[in-house]
Structure 1
Amino acid sequence: MAHEIKHHLTDDILMGYAAGTLPEAFNLMVAAHLSLCDTCRAQAESFDAVGGEVLNESMSNSAAMTSDSLAATMALIADGAMNSEAAVEQTADPVLPKPLRNYVGGSLDDVNWRGVGMGVKQAILPTSSGASARLLFIPAGAAMPDHGHRGVEMTMVLKGAFQDEDGYFARGDVEIADSDLHHTPVADIHEDCICLAVTDAPLTFEGLLPKIVQRFARI
């Protein structure tokens, strides 16, 4: 039975996504969540519709399209759709949502994991400046170091689950943490946990060892 997603994106984040004002890493998070969450996808589509109406109004006095503009646009859409379908067929993966597959070069088997200690592994994804994105692998029952936040950290579960002071998060759930939340995520003991995490500022750690790890792990 599919997990019922209980922790969703906020309207502010969805509006930022629709307006194109989020950093690439946060756009990736939103796109990945929307591919799993019917509720947030419907809300995002409503914001897109509003934005489309505003765009139509702003273009009401613009120059008319040339006679072949529609045909050229439809040809590009058809070509892109065929390429997209081929890519999906070649890289289908039960854990990684479609928006993540291009960032790892295929499926979960293609992720270039790097150990950061205590069995935890990460893979930093190539995104533009302004925010960072990474995949995290947390062994079943393992705890992440206790930490706080200088900015915003968004974490979405892709496999397994974790629990912290803010609740229980399973596949598709997103935790949005800011400077008000200090937490210690612990992976569910029944299964290894894989997450997508994005941040727009370094985390804050109290212990000496996590601070040392932070330097080379870039978290």
Structure 2
Amino acid sequence: MTRKQITHHLSDALLMAYSAGSLPEAFNLTVATHISMCDECRARLGSFDSLGGALIETSETAALAQDSLAATMARIRRAPPQTVTSPVRPAPGLFPAPLRDYIGGDLDAVRWRPVGMGVKQAILPTSRAATARLLFIPAGAAVPDHGHRGTELTLVLQGAFSDSVDYFGPGDIEIANEDLDHTPVADIGADCICLAATDAPLRFRALIPRLAQPFLRI
């Protein structure tokens, strides 16, 4: 099954929290990566940014010290000179710019660790409030049946997967919470690579995944 159009989008709540800067780092990375792929969510984010700007303009002002401007200008003058260079256009690759910039490269820069049954993961360094990881799921393979103790965002970068909710292709993002138990299965057409962010450990049904969970930090 092949589909290029993005049909699973971010919620208004996530976009507003991203605009306000209140999401944990792992969620910020996942949201930013999806926005870079999705025209619809990027436009909706612009509306929330404009709304936030309007609210700031109507909020109460705070008094500043009389010498604040002079002090700021003095700090600018004391700063070392900056060298202006022309931006380098990144070579085409799998990862969108926010993720590529965060990792410092594309797919070949990822240090995968085996999880089992051909599935691999790479945990990305973020704040402790949430965890971000890249997942590699071989075509046709399944992730063990699990539920959630918090929120999980899963963004498809390559391939596709399906579960009890729907089919998710490149650019689609699935938002899972405590109400969802599912068994994601990678489409047989290609290996599936996803960016996933969680703010709480998953809840596995089977014994072996539960035993391995502390070591895999899932």
- Which residue of 2 is the match for residue 6 of structure 1? 7
Gaps of 5+ in 1: 74-78
Shift of 1:60: 5.4
Describe how 1:1-219 pairs up with structure 2 within 5 A: 3-58=4-59, 66=69, 85-86=87-88, 89=89, 91-219=90-218
Shift of 1:127: 0.5
Per-residue CA deviation, residues 1-43 of structure 1 (Å, 9 max, x unaligned), is: 9811000000000000011111011111110000000000000
Shift of 1:169: 0.2
Specify the code of the residue in structure 2 equivalent to 1:15: M
Distance 2:108 2:133 in 1: 16
Runs of 4+ that moved beyond 6 A: none
Q: What's the TM-score once normalised by structure 2's chain length?
A: 0.87
Specify the code of the residue in structure 2 equivalent to 1:105: G
Per-residue CA deviation, residues 128-163 of structure 1 (Å, 9 max, x unaligned), is: 111000000000000000000000011000000000
Question: How well do the aligned residues superpose, as a CA RMSD in angstroms?
Answer: 2.7
Whether the 8 Å CA contact 1:163–1:187 is kept in 2: the answer is yes
Per-residue CA deviation, residues 184-212 of structure 1 (Å, 9 max, x unaligned), is: 00000010000000000000011111112
Whether the 8 Å CA contact 2:6–2:171 is kept in 1: the answer is yes
* Distance change in 2, residues 1:162/1:128 (3 Å): same
Whether the 8 Å CA contact 1:159–1:193 is kept in 2: the answer is yes
- Which residue of 2 is the match for residue 76 of structure 1? none
Gaps of 5+ in 2: 77-81
Q: Rg: which structure is higher?
A: 2
More helix by percentage: 1
Shift of 1:175: 0.4
* Distance change in 2, residues 1:24/1:143 (3 Å): same
Specify the code of the residue in structure 2 equivalent to 1:36: M
Per-residue CA deviation, residues 29-80 of structure 1 (Å, 9 max, x unaligned), is: 110000000000000010001111122233756559849x89x99xxxxx79
